[in-house]
């Protein structure tokens, strides 16, 4: 059986299949569907310093080959996260990556400082790219200088691996990628959702309360492949792929393009066992094609 382990900085995953923030709750929601310890890593729903109620309904809309969401990062806040959500995650043997967001750069730093005392957090993913939060979100990843500075400030307070999650809603994603690399990020993950809009003709209004939201699902996979490819070409740090991964073929395409790992996102809503199905499909592919090591496969696309 092929060794599927991959390295992201000092973080070693037993396989490259992770689950994307905001699509997997705090993992407990999925415990009835498969053995969570099988997959490479779990990235939590975003945690912020203070609790957030989230956006007013309607928050989601079905679209062609995908969906729009404007959830607005509802969460219990870092203190309650530690007390209420971590105890389920701590005994798991998969990697636990906590996704953190903030209204300000200081919020990111403070939230991470608070999480530093907590056992069993293997890495942080910095959510620079949520398109659905009024107070910022996008500003962190749409401005290279700010993204670099926030990353540098967080870097100062933790030795745990840092993954910067990037938005595709910018002119040049690799410019932002290079900035967070300079700031000390160990990896980037891309892409977050694309800004989109859906209209309800009958009600003559937008389908989402916030008018626009983030598009995800198979509809965005070609965009994600292009952005991942661009990042792989331009950065020295590893790239983790997100964007419309529904099955093992999708995951393998991203690995071939150069991503060291992948995150299953919207697929979790459609098939709650998708991460395990994808992992098994990836393993089968390597076994059937007698590929010795995953590292020789990653980035081996012929261009």
Partner 1 sequence: MSGNKILTEATVKHLEEIAENIFRMHLYEPHIAQTSHAGQFVNIQIAQGTTIFWRRPFSIHSTNPESGIFEILFNAVGRGTQVLKKIKNGAKLNLVGPLGNTFNHAPHLEEIIIVAGGLGIAPFKLLLQDLRKQQLKKTVFFGVSSTANLCCLDEFSRLGAKCRVSTEDGSKGYHGFVTDDLQNYLQELPDSSHRELLVCGPTPMLRKVQEIAQTLQINAQVSVENIMACGFGACMGCPVQLAHPHDDGKRYLLACKDGPVFNMDEILLDD
Q: Which residues bind partner 1 (CB under 8 A)?
A: 22-25, 29-30, 32-33, 45, 53-67, 69, 71, 74, 217, 268-273
List the catalytic residue out of 42, 98, 130, 225: 130
Nearest to 123 by CA among 157, 96, 87: 96
179 versus 220: smaller Cβ distance to partner 1? 220
| Separation between Cα atoms, residue 256 and residue 251, nearest integer Å | 9
Least distance CB 107 / partner 1 (angstroms): 18
Least distance CB 61 / partner 1 (angstroms): 8
Least distance CB 6 / partner 1 (angstroms): 25
Least distance CB 52 / partner 1 (angstroms): 10
177 versus 244: smaller Cβ distance to partner 1? 244
The CA-to-CA distance between both ends of the chain, in Å, stands at 29
| Separation between Cα atoms, residue 76 and residue 282, nearest integer Å | 35
Annotated active-site residue 130? The verdict is yes
| Separation between Cα atoms, residue 15 and residue 38, nearest integer Å | 9
4 versus 92: smaller Cβ distance to partner 1? 92
Contact criterion met (CB below 8 Å) for 122 and 161: yes
129 versus 151: smaller Cβ distance to partner 1? 129
Contact criterion met (CB below 8 Å) for 152 and 91: no
Nearest to 138 by CA among 127, 149, 153: 127
Residues marked as catalytic: 130
């Amino acid at each position: 059986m092929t060794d599927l382990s991959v390295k992201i900085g000092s973080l070693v995953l037993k396989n490259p299949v992770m689950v994307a923030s905001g699509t997997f709750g705090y993992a407990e929601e999925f415990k009835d569907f498969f053995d969570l310890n099988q997959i490479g890593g779990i990235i939590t729903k975003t945690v912020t310093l203070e609790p957030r109620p989230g956006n007013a309904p309607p928050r989601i809309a079905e679209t062609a080959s995908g969906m729009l969401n404007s959830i607005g990062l509802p969460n219990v806040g870092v203190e309650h996260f530690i007390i209420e959500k971590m105890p389920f995650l701590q005994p798991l043997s998969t990697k636990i990556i906590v996704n953190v967001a903030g209204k300000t750069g200081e919020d990111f730093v403070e939230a991470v400082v608070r999480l530093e005392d907590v056992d069993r957090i293997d890495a942080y993913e910095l959510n620079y790219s949520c398109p659905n939060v009024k107070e910022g979100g996008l500003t962190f990843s749409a401005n290279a200088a700010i993204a670099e500075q926030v990353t540098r400030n967080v870097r100062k307070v933790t030795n745990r691996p840092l993954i910067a999650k990037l938005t595709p809603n910018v002119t040049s994603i690799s410019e932002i990628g290079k900035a967070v690399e300079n700031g000390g990020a160990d990896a980037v993950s891309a892409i977050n959702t694309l800004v989109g809009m859906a209209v309800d003709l009958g009600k003559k209004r937008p389908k989402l309360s916030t008018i626009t939201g983030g598009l995800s699902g198979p509809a965005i996979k070609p965009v994600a492949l292009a952005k991942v490819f661009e990042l792989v070409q331009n950065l020295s740090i590893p790239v983790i792929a997100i964007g419309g991964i529904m099955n093992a073929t999708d995951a393998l395409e991203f690995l071939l393009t150069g991503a060291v790992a992948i995150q299953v996102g919207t697929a979790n809503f459609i098939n709650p066992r998708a991460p395990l199905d994808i992992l098994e499909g990836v393993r089968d592919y390597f076994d059937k094609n007698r590929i010795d090591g995953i590292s020789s496969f990653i980035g081996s696309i012929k261009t």
